[in-house]
C-alpha cells in the first residue's frame, strides 16, 4: 500500500528502511522521502515505521527463543 503518494513511498519501502537500520522518522524520511512534500502522510508513515521496528524486534526474540530451545 502507498503511504506517501507525493513521493510514491510504500509500506514495503519503509519496512526496508527499518531493516537497513533506520530507527528515527528523520532517518526514514531521508531514506524514502516519505512525509517530505505535503506532510499529509506523516502520521501513517510514522505508524508504519513503528510497526516495522516492532516486527523486527519480535523476529529477533523468536530467533533467540529458537536458539535457546
Q: Please list the pLDDT of the chain residue by residue as tens digits (69 residues).
A: 999 999 999 999 999 999 999 999 999 999 999 999 999 999 999 999 999 999 999 999 998 888 887
Helical segments of 2-68, H only: 11-19, 25-32, 42-68
pLDDT at 63: 87
Distance CA 69, CA 37 (A): 48
pTM of the model: 0.89
pLDDT of res. 12? 98
How far is residue 47 CA from its own chain's centroid?
Answer: 8
CA distance 50 to 38: 21
Nearest to 57 by CA among 23, 11, 24: 23
Amino acid at each position: 500500500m502507498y503511504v506517501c503518494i507525493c513521493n510514491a513511498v510504500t509500506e514495503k519501502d519503509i519496512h526496508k528502511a527499518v531493516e537497513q537500520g533506520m530507527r528515527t522518522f528523520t532517518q526514514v524520511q531521508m531514506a524514502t522521502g516519505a512525509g517530505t512534500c505535503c506532510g499529509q502522510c506523516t502520521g501513517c508513515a510514522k505508524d508504519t515505521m513503528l510497526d516495522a521496528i516492532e516486527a523486527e524486534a519480535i523476529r529477533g526474540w523468536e530467533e533467540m527463543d529458537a536458539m535457546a530451545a
